[in-house]
Chain A
């Protein structure tokens, strides 16, 4: 009957929609590795870390001073800073989403975002 066929067609469309939705949601691909720099909890700079052929520098200015970021393939570090102690410089390179670099005097946090291999790092 036409009415039954219409109902079957409607249900089929709904079922296909459910399957497509599941596929979209569960195969969401994570973006590649990126670096994000926050000053006073606000995002001030972001860059891709996957396609870096030559390391390059980026100067981040904060109210309290300056940090020089060096960006290389898959990793980042603070190469220089004018803060006391330069703890952020001594932290060296990071390529892990769970090991951010912090410059406390400048309220600056350098985070790697991308595929997580652990949930958190104890250090």
Chain B
């Protein structure tokens, strides 16, 4: 009887391995049908990327470029910088990794929050310029005191790298959650997509659930890292054009797509653009997006309409479909 029971228990599921670990300044959870050895390799991918891209580790490639004016010939860094420049062009500058000096002035790097004066922001804005990232003769470097922060794209990039590794290993299904940046690998089981909840900005449950298979789901919102000063809440997304933190008409932006790298960058950029321009950009670039505005309107791309189920608190909200 025990033998028979254990036979059926074995039939119930493949071996799912799972681990929660800290990397890139956030908590990461990876779960997939595979081996513990592969799990260890996944954690190494995240840690190695942190070593390379961290703005605070003095041995990182990015720190060397930012603080010591070093050139790098690291192919992975150069490829990601090219991608960043391309995404900056596609979003008309709303996504811009050279915004780092301003991010520092707000204290988001150290946690020593401050509200920089307009004069301080004006003095730093000339450094916010994607053309100051130079890539020539197989080397990348920064000009005129520009400094970069890959925080707006690194987790998405990391999720792609992990997903590519797992696919190459023949892993069929899994969930990668890097501090809320989600990559749903394969299907939960044959014919059943993963159910990815989209967090509600009021911290109370979900806006709804997106069915996703082999897709990244990345959400940006004001409710993430923020601080309050003199009764005003300052979110962590900086507008590269003004240097101020974004306080427009969007509460939450979710982008769904094959590339975690792009979804991560676009979710930040659309937040900067505000609802109307975000919808226009999504339409122009054929992005699949879910936007929640301050008046409670849900704007959703046609491509997501049939895979999105609003949760109980959002069923009565006005829905606009973006073509």
Contacts and interface: CB of A to CB of B under 8 A. Distances in A.
A87 B225 contact: yes
Q: Is the interface of B mostly helix, strand, loop or mixed?
A: strand
A41 interface: yes
A10 interface: no
B322 to A, nearest CB: 19
B196 A121 contact: yes
Nearest to B195: A118
Interface stretch (B131-139, B140-148, B200-208): B200-208
A99 interface: yes
B194 A122 contact: no
Contact of A123 (B1, B8, B210, B224): B224
Contact of B5 (A24, A90, A91, A95): A24
A104 B197 contact: no
Contacts of A109: 20, 27
Contacts of A93: 203-204
Nearest to B218: A122
Interface residues of B, number: 43
Contacts, number: 99
B196 A120 contact: yes
Interface string B179-212: 0111010001000001111110001111001100
B195 A119 contact: yes
Contacts of A60: none
Interface stretch (A1-9, A15-23, A51-59, A63-71): A15-23
A95 B195 CA distance: 17
B241 interface: no
A121 B204 contact: no
A98 interface: yes
B261 interface: no
B199 A123 contact: yes
Given A90-B226, A120-B182, 10 more contacts: A25-B8, A26-B12, A84-B111, A85-B227, A93-B204, A118-B196, A120-B196, A121-B197, A122-B196, A122-B198
